[in-house]
């Protein structure tokens, strides 16, 4: 999911958004809100009692009403949409909100979204992908869910340039920040080198449209061993470079049925524990790491105006 460019390489995007040259700024982000009751419990726990600063919601999933109710009671939470074009679990599945007649290329033989990104890329047209993006936006607005940013479940919207174009254009049209990485991309170059640079021409377009851009994205926490999560998270915090970096987690508090959904139950519980560990909060304070949100990024981008 890397979008890198040499645009204003002498400055981080954090600097362009008003932070100092040496500031380490992070978004500690929770994916998959609304996917399950367990997912909602973990996200709420890490935002209320831990260091998580942001999350995004999977609108086609069955536990979205629970998180919508929570957000009505806690409107200040930085909540975006985890735009969903896949349904990857074998026993727990969901359909496109646009419906099969409007987006037949998004639907598999079970009437659900395809399990893999590759299957979506093979079957779905850009029009169908955009139709589903807009259906998920409409559903969020109907439920009163705030939309501080947009990202992509399993990176589907980064799988093809024409998908990303629709993603970017909707974000620009609606003035909603989208997940794009235009800075040094240290971790993205390691984690997703095959995508690196392919969509870099969009960075100036997105920035010039008044939307923020971040410097890096870390996604590897998903493959860390559960017993090593906190240790590896602390090590990551110690080595972060200046700039705005989003670090993605999948925090959950497993209920009895959650292991039937996913084999990652232990990993997701370990995310919750890492994000609520007092040692993590202490290190953030000691190193002077700045926690931020997508809402703040948008506000800072507005203040930055057209200044270079």
Helix, strand, or coil here: 30?
A: strand
CB 249 within 8 A of CB 82: no
**Percent of the chain at pLDDT above 70?**
94
Please state the rounded mean pLDDT for residues 56-65: 98
Assigned token pair, 92? 């727990």
For residues 64-76, give the mean pLDDT. 97
125's CB contacts (< 8 A; 6+ apart) are 105
CB 81 within 8 A of CB 136: yes
Cα 300 from Cα 285, distance rounded (Å): 22
User: Residue 305, by phi and psi: left (phi above 0), alpha (psi -120 to 50) or beta?
Assistant: left
- Domains of the chain as residue ranges with CATH: 13-97+135-304 (3.20.20.370)
275: number of Cβ within 10 Å: 27
Whether 2 shows a pLDDT value over 50: the answer reads no
Using one digit for the tens of pLDDT, what is the confidence trace for 283-297?
Answer: 999 999 999 999 999
- pTM to 2 decimal places: 0.95
Which residue from 298, 265, 154 is spatially nearest to 219, judged by alpha carbons?
154
The pLDDT tens digits of the residues spanning 75-112 come to 999 999 999 999 999 999 999 999 999 999 999 999 99
Three-state secondary structure call for residue 17: coil
Tell me the two tokens of residue 200: 């870099």
Average of per-residue pLDDT across 67-79:
97
């Amino acid at each position: 999911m890397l979008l890198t460019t040499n645009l204003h390489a002498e400055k981080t995007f954090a600097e362009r958004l008003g932070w100092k040259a040496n500031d380490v700024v992070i978004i500690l982000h929770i994916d998959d809100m609304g996917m399950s009751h367990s997912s909602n419990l973990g996200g709420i726990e890490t935002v209320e009692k831990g260091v998580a600063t942001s999350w995004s919601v999977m609108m086609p999933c069955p536990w979205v009403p629970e998180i919508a109710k929570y957000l009505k009671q806690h409107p200040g939470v930085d909540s975006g949409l985890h735009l969903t074009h896949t349904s990857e679990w074998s026993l727990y599945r969901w359909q496109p909100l646009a419906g099969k007649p409007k987006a037949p290329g998004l639907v598999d033989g079970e009437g659900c979204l395809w399990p893999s990104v590759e299957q979506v890329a093979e079957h779905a047209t850009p029009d169908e992908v955009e139709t589903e993006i807009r259906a998920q936006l409409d559903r969020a607005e109907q439920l009163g869910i705030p939309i501080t940013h947009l990202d992509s479940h399993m990176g589907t919207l980064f799988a093809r340039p024409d998908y990303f174009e629709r993603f970017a254009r909707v974000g620009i049209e609606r003035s909603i920040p989208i997940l794009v990485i235009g800075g040094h991309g240290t971790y993205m170059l390691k984690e997703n080198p095959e995508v690196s640079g392919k969509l870099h021409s969009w960075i100036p377009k997105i920035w010039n449209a008044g939307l923020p851009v971040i410097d890096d994205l870390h996604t590897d926490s998903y493959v860390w061993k559960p017993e090593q999560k906190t240790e590896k998270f602390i090590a990551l915090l110690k080595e972060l470079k200046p700039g705005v970096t989003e670090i993605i987690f999948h925090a959950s508090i497993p209920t009895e049925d959650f292991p039937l959904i996913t084999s990652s139950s232990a990993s997701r519980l370990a995310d919750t524990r890492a994000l609520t560990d007092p040692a993590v909060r202490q290190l953030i304070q000691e190193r002077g790491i700045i926690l931020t949100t997508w809402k703040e990024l948008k506000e800072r981008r507005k203040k930055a105006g057209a200044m270079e």
